[in-house]
Structure 1
Amino acid sequence: MPAETEPHTCTWMAWPSSGYTDGDTAREAWASVALAVAEFEPVRLVVDPSAVADARRWLGGAVEYFETPLDDAWMRDIGPTFVVGPAGLGAVDWVFNGWGGQSWATWDKDAEVARQVAEWAGATLVGSALVNEGGGIHVDGHGTVLVTETVQLDPGRNPGWSRSDVEAELRRTLGVHEVVWLPRGLTRDYEEFGTRGHVDIVATMIAPGRVLIHAQPDPRHPDFSVIEAMKATFPRTWELIDLPAPENLTDDFGPVDHSYVNHLVCNAGVVAGTFDDPRDAAALDILAAAYPGRRVIGIDARAIFALGGGIHCITQQEPRVTQQEPAVSGGRP
Structure 2
Amino acid sequence: MTELMQTPAEAGYSMPAEWSRHAACVMIWPARRELWSDRFDEAKRDYAAVARAIAAFEPVVMLCNPGLAAEVIDFCGSGVEPLEVPVDDSWARDSGPAFVTNAAGNVAAVKFGFNAWGNRWHPHDQDALVPDRLAAHFGVPLFRAPFVLEGGAFLVDGEGALITTEQCLLNPNRNPHMTKEEIEQGLKDYLGVTTVTWLPYGHSLDVGPAGTDGHIDGVAQYIAPGRVLLEVPSDRASSEYERARANLARLAETPDAAGRSLDISILDPHRDADVSYANHYIANGAVIVPVDGGDHDAAVLDVLGGLYPDREIVGVPGTTIAFGGGGPHCITQQVPAGDFGGRVQQPNAEPTR
CA contact (8 A) 1:40 1:268 kept: yes
| Secondary structure of the corresponding residue to residue 204 of structure 1 | strand
In structure 1, distance between residues paired with 2:127 and 2:64: 12
In structure 2, the gaps of 5 or more residues are 1-14, 254-260, 341-353
Q: 1:67 aligns with which of 57, 76, 84?
A: 84
In structure 2, distance between residues paired with 1:318 and 1:53: 24
Relative to the length of structure 1, the TM-score reads: 0.91
Q: 1:14 aligns with which of 15, 19, 28?
A: 28
| Secondary structure of the corresponding residue to residue 99 of structure 1 | helix
- Aligned match of 2:58: 41
Query: Does structure 1 residue 274 correspond to structure 2 residue 298?
Result: no
CA contact (8 A) 1:246 1:259 kept: no
| Secondary structure of the corresponding residue to residue 317 of structure 1 | strand
Code of the residue aligned with 1:120 in structure 2: it is: H
Code of the residue aligned with 2:263 in structure 1: it is: E
Identity of aligned residues (%): 38
Deviations 1:269-295 (A, max 9, x none): 110001112221111111111112111
In structure 2, distance between residues paired with 1:263 and 1:48: 25
- Aligned match of 1:201: 218
In structure 1, distance between residues paired with 2:21 and 2:70: 31
Code of the residue aligned with 1:157 in structure 2: it is: R
Following superposition, the deviation at residue 221 of structure 1 comes to: 2.1
- Aligned match of 2:112: 94
Moved more, 113-122 or 308-317: 113-122
- Aligned match of 2:263: 239
Relative to the length of structure 2, the TM-score reads: 0.86
Following superposition, the deviation at residue 18 of structure 1 comes to: 4.2
What are the within-5 Å matches in structure 2 for residues 160-175 of structure 1? 160-175=177-192
In structure 2, distance between residues paired with 1:172 and 1:18: 33
In structure 1, distance between residues paired with 2:122 and 2:303: 35
- Aligned match of 1:315: 332
Following superposition, the deviation at residue 47 of structure 1 comes to: 0.8
CA contact (8 A) 2:52 2:77 kept: no
Following superposition, the deviation at residue 219 of structure 1 comes to: 2.2
CA contact (8 A) 2:107 2:339 kept: no
| Secondary structure of the corresponding residue to residue 205 of structure 2 | helix
- Aligned match of 2:132: 115
Following superposition, the deviation at residue 86 of structure 1 comes to: 4.9
In structure 1, distance between residues paired with 2:202 and 2:244: 9
Change (3 A) 1:105 1:214: farther
In structure 2, distance between residues paired with 1:305 and 1:297: 17
Code of the residue aligned with 1:59 in structure 2: it is: C
Following superposition, the deviation at residue 208 of structure 1 comes to: 2.3
Following superposition, the deviation at residue 60 of structure 1 comes to: 2.9
CA contact (8 A) 1:215 1:224 kept: yes
Query: Does structure 1 residue 5 correspond to structure 2 residue 19?
Result: yes
CA contact (8 A) 1:89 1:122 kept: no
CA contact (8 A) 2:68 2:84 kept: no
Following superposition, the deviation at residue 149 of structure 1 comes to: 1.0
In structure 1, the gaps of 5 or more residues are 250-255, 324-333
In structure 2, distance between residues paired with 1:152 and 1:126: 20
Query: Does structure 1 residue 295 correspond to structure 2 residue 315?
Result: no
- Aligned match of 2:6: none
- Aligned match of 1:147: 164
Following superposition, the deviation at residue 214 of structure 1 comes to: 1.0
In structure 2, distance between residues paired with 1:217 and 1:73: 33
CA contact (8 A) 1:246 1:275 kept: no
CA contact (8 A) 2:238 2:271 kept: no
Change (3 A) 1:293 1:99: same
In structure 2, distance between residues paired with 1:306 and 1:318: 26
Moved more, 273-282 or 78-87: 78-87
- The RMSD of aligned alpha carbons is 1.5
